[in-house]
Amino acid sequence: MEKVTSNIRHLRKSAGYTQAQLAERLDIKRSLVGAYEEGRAEPKLSTLVNVAKLFDISLDELITADLSDSAFKSGSGASAGGKLRVLAITVDQEERENIELVPHKASAGYLNGYADPEFIEELPRFRLPMLGTGGTYRAFEISGDSMLPIVSGTVIVGRFVEDWSQLKDGTPCIVVSEKEGVVFKRVYNKMEESSTLRLHSDNPVYTPYEVHLEDVVEIWEAKSYISSTFPIADLSLDKLSSIVLDLQKEVQKLKKVD
């Protein structure tokens, strides 16, 4: 059962599950998942069947194959774009998922290391209790002014999106793609029309553009942001004109009183 032990651990980590999450999906105790992965106990046949069904593989593959040595393709682990989705995560001592931070200087390396547990393990990590326990979160430091008033250097905390087709148009997301790298944009679904996603900036200076689904690696729906820069008040020309007009009216009132 040595291969079963390593395969269960590999499948769980590849799918981005904690031991508790996998236990819930298999309807067993979390301690049993830990025992299986450490080789302290052998799963029942019914449990093995459920594992194979969950990860869309055959029972024979689960028992005899070394899944970590080959490109594992799972129906539940594939993204809406049809690509293999392998999500590496880190957890704390209580098996709670961390939020890994991808600094801007590491964003180029992230494109190659997003599925590498060793790369993810080296990233800074933290927790934000108010985000709850539902889903997997990751933080990305953005650069540039395409999403003003969110400024360069802001850290965007995103929740991993498994089914891209469920994203509502205009949702702000971190999109990781082979051609564009890590970008923060609003996403518009063009999957049925052209097998693409249309990315929009909040700064009108930047023209929207499309990325093909085949190039997209990950999508993280923005849920929170961390910044040391407070938003600048709206001091557009129209706003300034309105302020000046109001001041002029107040001055005229004061003159009439005198």
Distance CA 107, CA 102 (A): 6
Bridge partners, 184 (sequence order): 174
Residue 28 Rama label (left phi>0; alpha psi -120 to 50; beta): beta
Per-position pLDDT tens, the chain of length 258: 678 998 998 888 877 788 888 999 899 998 999 899 988 888 988 899 899 888 888 888 888 888 876 444 433 344 444 444 557 788 888 878 899 999 999 998 998 888 788 899 999 999 898 887 678 899 999 999 999 889 999 999 999 998 888 899 999 999 999 989 999 999 999 988 998 999 999 999 999 999 999 899 999 999 999 998 876 666 666 666 677 777 778 877 777 765
Q: For residues 199 and 210, is the Cβ–Cβ distance under 8 A? A: yes
Say which amino acid occupies 144.
Answer: G
Residues constituting the chain: 258
**Confidence (pLDDT) at 94:** 81
User: Is the backbone peptide bond immediately before 149 cis, with ω within 30 degrees of 0?
Assistant: yes
Q: Could you tell me where in the chain the CATH 2.10.109.10 domains are found?
A: 99-222
Which regions of 161-215 does DSSP assign to beta strands (E)?
A: 171-177, 181-190, 196-200, 209-212
Model confidence, pTM: 0.63
Q: For residues 156 and 107, is the Cβ–Cβ distance under 8 A? A: no
CA distances from 17 to 45, 133, 254 (A): 21, 12, 68
Q: Which CATH class is domain 2-69?
A: mainly alpha
Task: Identify which of 163, 9, 20 has the alpha carbon closest to the alpha carbon of residue 92.
Answer: 20
**Confidence (pLDDT) at 240:** 62
**Confidence (pLDDT) at 239:** 67
Distance CA 146, CA 154 (A): 12
Q: Tell me yes or no: is domain 99-222 CATH 2.10.109.10.
A: yes
**Confidence (pLDDT) at 52:** 87
Q: For residues 128 and 157, is the Cβ–Cβ distance under 8 A? A: yes
**Confidence (pLDDT) at 84:** 42
CA distances from 82 to 88, 214, 215 (A): 18, 8, 11
**Strand-strand pairing, 181-190 and 216-226:** unpaired
Q: Could you tell me where in the chain the CATH 1.10.260.40 domains are found?
A: 2-69
